[in-house]
Amino acid sequence: MSAGLEKTESQLKKAYAELDVIRERKADIIEKEKAAMSHIENLENQRILQIVDTYRLSGDDLKRKLAAIMPANAPKSVTGTVPVNNERNNENEKDL
């Protein structure tokens, strides 16, 4: 094997290893985001129950109160992820 090819193979192996580390970190961040969103949702639900209990609200009154206190930038849902396939598929490539 030529020195240039060996160097390229080594760099490619290193690049794939770095990509794996990045993906692991990304997965951790996504899990933390899901946990934070769940915590926020629980707190929002707790607040709703406390408001209903405090003011003895009807359904329409509750809707008006919630519309007044909901922040405009409140997250609606957690965005999903799209799986990525990184396998090489080149039919023109010959075995070395």
At 31-81, the pLDDT tens digits run: 999 999 999 999 999 988 888 788 787 888 877 877 888 776 665 655 556
pTM for the complete prediction?
0.51
Q: How far apart are CA 92 and CA 96, in angstroms?
A: 12
Cβ atoms 81, 30 nearer than 8 A? yes
Distances (CA, A) of 63 to 48, 70, 79: 10, 10, 26
Q: Which of 11-15, 21-25, 31-35, 43-47 has the lowest mean pLDDT?
A: 43-47
Q: Which amino acid is at 79?
A: T
Q: What pLDDT digit, counting tens, does each position of 34-43 carry?
A: 999 999 999 9
* 96 has a pLDDT exceeding 50: no
* Beta strands in 1-96, from DSSP E residues, in sequence order: none
Domain ranges in the chain are: 3-69
* 4 has a pLDDT exceeding 50: yes
